[in-house]
Amino acid sequence: MKKIDMDIVVIGGSAAGLVAAMTAKSNYPEKDVMVLRKEEKVMIPCGIPYIFGTLGTSDSNILPDGGLVNLGVNIKVDTVERINKEEHTLETEDGSVISYEKLIVATGSTPFVPKSIKGTDLENVFTVPKNKVYLDTFYDKLKDCKKIAVVGAGFIGVELSDELNKIGKEVTLVELQETILGNAFDDDTSLVAQDILTNRGVKMLNGVAVTAIEGNGKAEKLVFKDGSSIDVDAVVLSIGYTSNVGLAKASGISVNSQGSIKVDAYMRTHQKDIFACGDCAQKRDFITGRIVPIMLASTACAEARVAALNLYDLATIKTFNGTISIYSTNIGETTFGVAGLTEKRAKAEGFNILSATFKGIDRHPGKLNNPHYQSIKLVANKASGLIMGGEVIGGVSAGELTNVLGFIIQNKMTITDLLCSQIGTQPMLTASPAAYPLIKAAEMISRKMSRR
């Protein structure tokens, strides 16, 4: 038995674990900090789809250890088998016993494989885990496959389909809902994305439930609920992820009914000196406070910073106030972003809302510097004008414009606040100050409010 004394231990080395460890060591430099992770080399989670096309290898998608090493964080590649809460120790696969004062659980998530689909154990049926060894095998095997079905049109499914299409595969994207990215965007935005994706060559099958994968040892046919099927050489399941909470559960850390570790606004679990963050931890919606199944590297990193900042000195000014669900993606030349509640989610929650969409152009004059149209949709509470959500379609700059929306929501700004706001504009870089789509959309809602 090796005995290792640490002050702060982080279990998990992906986005949340990395940021938690770096923030902890930066803020408590006198403490000994260790990251315990299963993988020798960690994948950049959001970069995984791009391995298959643009990057061409998982070696270009490795989360660098430099930040940890430079700060003096210890990295141990090992698997934690038990957390002894009372003793404040961990037992690992290699026989080590590691003591801690504070523990951060950031064990992440694993692809969800629904039991309702038969044949998922056949060869050439893949999921998209954050695991380099698995992804390398997956990538190699795909080389001999031409017809690939991707099941599930969330961000991973959409980005992966586009990448596989880029390298000449015949891709069919299969989705139960009527649109792609339907959990993130309103239908009007999703349909624009879907048009671009299909125009680029990805074949869409919407509103289709997969019941089985069939074949002689390996995937040959994808079968749907209505009995029809398509021929395939490989199937990729990108249906979602479930929190990795086996260790937490076994160690008596409370898990909610959705299967994520219960945490408070300081990212504390219900057990003393144990924090959790990232995909394994429970998420609450910023606006409704309800538990939501959101998994996002950006949310994970914010939670990780909050957890680490509160380890030894809780402060109400350092709380995590719920996920704003800030997403963005890129299909071809077009960027799609969303922050906060979509119109359909807001309505489903029972909010009385007003929404408006303004379509302009992201340069002024509109011919300059590789322009792209830019469309902004805002969703606001009817009574107060509070901005609850926004969606953007545009060029590359729409990625950061999505963060503008995020800060507007985080700061609980109203439509009136927005109308009185200052926006920096430049001909080569942004829309016109006189027709900035974000402000124009706010004006449209303002007029609807005054018409009450």
47 binds a copy of itself (CB under 8 A): yes
Minimum distance of a copy of itself from residue 131's CB (angstroms): 17
Taking CB under 8 A as the criterion, which residues in 17-46 touch a copy of itself?
18-19, 22-23, 26-27, 44, 46
Identified binder of a copy of itself from the candidate list 189, 194, 299, 355, rule CB under 8 A: 299
Segment interacting with a copy of itself (CB under 8 A) among 55-63, 128-136, 210-218, 255-263: 55-63
Q: C-beta of 443: minimal distance to a copy of itself in Å?
A: 6
Q: Does 69 bind a copy of itself (CB under 8 A)?
A: no
Alpha carbons 227 and 210: distance in angstroms, whole number: 10
Cβ closest to a copy of itself, residue 291 vs residue 435: 435
407 binds a copy of itself (CB under 8 A): yes
Query: Helices 15-27 and 297-309 sit at what angle, rounded to 10 degrees?
Result: 30
Among residues 13, 157, 389, 406, which is the contact residue for a copy of itself, using CB under 8 A? 406
Do the beta carbons of residue 229 and residue 235 sit within 8 Å?
no
Nearer to a copy of itself (CB atom), residue 211 or residue 330? 330
Q: How far is the CB of 334 from a copy of itself (least distance, A)?
A: 11
Query: Does 288 participate in binding a copy of itself (rule CB under 8 A)?
Result: no
CB of 439 to a copy of itself, least distance (A): 8
229 versus 397: smaller Cβ distance to a copy of itself: 397
Torsional sign, CA 293, 337, 276, 349: negative
Sign of dihedral through CA atoms 243, 246, 247, 248? positive
Q: Which of 179, 323, 375, 381 binds a copy of itself (CB under 8 A)?
A: 323
302 is a contact residue toward a copy of itself (CB under 8 A):
yes
Choose the binding region for a copy of itself from 95-103, 199-207, 249-257, 412-420 (rule: CB under 8 A): 412-420
Binding positions for a copy of itself, 332-351, rule CB under 8 A: 335, 337, 339
By CB under 8 A, is residue 197 in contact with a copy of itself? no
Nearer to a copy of itself, 88 or 377 (CB): 377
Q: Does 15 bind a copy of itself (CB under 8 A)?
A: yes
Rounded to whole angstroms, the Cα distance separating 19 from 13 reads 9
- Cβ atoms 106, 14 nearer than 8 A: yes
Residue 268 in contact with a copy of itself, rule: CB under 8 A: no
Binding mask 237-266 for a copy of itself (x = CB under 8 A): ------------------------------
Which residue of 205, 261, 306, 388 would you call a contact of a copy of itself, by CB under 8 A? Answer: 306
Among 65, 201, 319, 448, binds a copy of itself (CB under 8 A): 319
Q: Whose structure tokens read 């120790």?
A: 89
Q: Which two tokens stand for residue 99?
A: 């003591």
Shortest Cβ 236–a copy of itself spacing (Å): 18
Kindly tell me which residue out of 61, 179, 238, 260 binds a copy of itself, with binding defined by CB under 8 A.
61
Number of residues that bind a copy of itself (CB under 8 A): 90
Which of 88, 130, 283, 305 contacts a copy of itself by CB under 8 A? Answer: 305
Phi and psi at 102, nearest 5°, equal -130, 135
Exactly one of 201, 252, 293, 427 binds a copy of itself (CB under 8 A); that residue is 427
Contact 394, 372 (CB under 8 A): yes
179 touching a copy of itself, by CB under 8 A: no
The mark string for 430-449 relative to a copy of itself (x by CB under 8 A, - otherwise) is x-xxxxx--x---x--xx--
Using CB under 8 A as the binding rule, whether residue 131 contacts a copy of itself is answered as no
- Does position 398 bind a copy of itself by CB under 8 A? yes
